[in-house]
Amino acid sequence: MKTGDNVVLEVSNLKTYFFTRRGVVKAVDGLDFHLRRGECLCLVGESGCGKTVTALSILKLVDSPPGKIVEGEIRYDSLDLVKCSSKQLRQIRGKEIAMVFQEAQSALNPVLTIGDQIMEQIMLHLPLERNEAQNRSMALLREMGIPSVERVMKSYPHQLSGGMKQRAMIAMSLSCDPTIIIADEPTTAVDVTIEAQILGIFRSLKEQRQLSLIFITHDLAVVAEIGDRAVVMYAGKEVETAPVSEIIANPRHPYTAGLIRCLPDISRPADRLVSIPGFAPNPVELPGGCAFHPRCSEGMPICSQQAPPVVELSTEHRVRCHLYR
């Protein structure tokens, strides 16, 4: 894969393990990807495949007693985020790399006002006076399409609707002009109309501000709408990486193909919804060889014995599957 000068973030061989009483959970097991300026990279996969842990690992927000980044490099702006000091990390969090979480109600502090929470971040990173920070916050909220910003600034999270809370969170993440925004399933907990609005906001952010986005989702439809490139994950590993158009039109990995088949097509008659047989594997006891082989329609004998390596089908398309050796 060519990594040009336009790369803002490069993740190499990231391994984040959780050491629990019942065994070691290899939530992320050797993940590689890169993010270019102005592009939206989607991390796709079922629940438990490691996408959220990946996002948290980038900013080292993983719960540290059970979890630990055991190996890997995360290069941002000549720094290795895995190895840098906490002081350097705190300069990056919220200022260069910001995060938007899945459920706005639990991600926002219920006893502080929206204004307080946004301004707190601004005044931490930027040399602004209090009223300047306030104006900046209100401008951001307006940009997000929130009406009556003065009232919202003084409101508490529980007084706002789901969509407004999510917009406020996005405004908060933008407050210090970050280079990268990591969005962890921001539309999963909201209904379709709000989802459309939020996706619209992200799209315009990408276009107008040249923002780089890492968008985590399990919904391929969302990927199709907003993603430029996608990394499909399964059991902590990357199984396929490609531009979104290619993934949709020409999925190479059986898992990706299965995911696409699951999307119901309104134009075609069907009587049964298609799904991928089987269940997501127990993270403590992963199947040997390729983790997907018990559910794979193209399984070969070698799949249960050897873990497949990553194969580069083209400069932009990689697959981890024995089919392409």
Partner 1 sequence: MRKSWLRDYILKRLIYSAIIAWGILTITFVLVRVGPSSPADKYLANMAARGQDVSQVIAAIEARYGLDRPIHEQYFDYMVNLFQGNWGWSFSTSMPVIDLIKTHWVYSFQLILLSSLFAAFLGILIGVYSAVKQYTRTDYLFTFFSFIGVSIPNFWLGVMLILLFSVKLGLFKTYYDTTLPLFSLANLKALVLPVITLGTGMLAGYVRYTRSAMLDNLRKGFVTTARAKGLPERTVIGKHVFRNALLPLVTIIMFDLGSIIFGGAYLTEIVFGIPGLGQVSFNAVFANDYPVVVAVTLIGTFLILLVNLVTDISYTYLDPRIRYD
Site residues, partner 1 (CB under 8 A): 56, 59, 61, 65, 90-95, 98-99, 101, 103, 106-112, 120-121, 124-125, 156, 158-159, 172
In the complex, the smallest distance separating the C-beta of residue 158 from partner 1, rounded to whole angstroms, is 5
Cα–chain center distance at 164: 21
Q: Which is nearer to partner 1, 41 or 99 (CB)?
A: 99
Query: Residue 271: phi, psi to the nearest 5?
Result: -110, -15
Q: Which is nearer to partner 1, 119 or 247 (CB)?
A: 119
Q: Which is nearer to partner 1, 104 or 235 (CB)?
A: 104
In the complex, the smallest distance separating the C-beta of residue 15 from partner 1, rounded to whole angstroms, is 21
In the complex, the smallest distance separating the C-beta of residue 155 from partner 1, rounded to whole angstroms, is 9
| 32: nearest Cα among 9, 61, 62 | 9
CA–CA gap between residue 122 and residue 138 (Å, rounded): 12
Q: Which is nearer to partner 1, 111 or 270 (CB)?
A: 111
In the complex, the smallest distance separating the C-beta of residue 198 from partner 1, rounded to whole angstroms, is 17
In the complex, the smallest distance separating the C-beta of residue 318 from partner 1, rounded to whole angstroms, is 29
Helical (H) or strand (E) element with 258 = helix 254-262
DSSP 175-218: TT--SEEEEESTTTTS-HHHHHHHHHHHHHHHHHH--EEEEEES
Q: Which is nearer to partner 1, 182 or 239 (CB)?
A: 182
CA–CA gap between residue 61 and residue 78 (Å, rounded): 20
In the complex, the smallest distance separating the C-beta of residue 64 from partner 1, rounded to whole angstroms, is 11
CA–CA gap between residue 243 and residue 246 (Å, rounded): 5
Q: Please list the residues that pair with 320 across neighbouring strands.
A: 310
Q: How far is CA 133 from CA 75, 91, 95, 129, in A?
A: 30, 18, 14, 6
Q: Which is nearer to partner 1, 90 or 305 (CB)?
A: 90
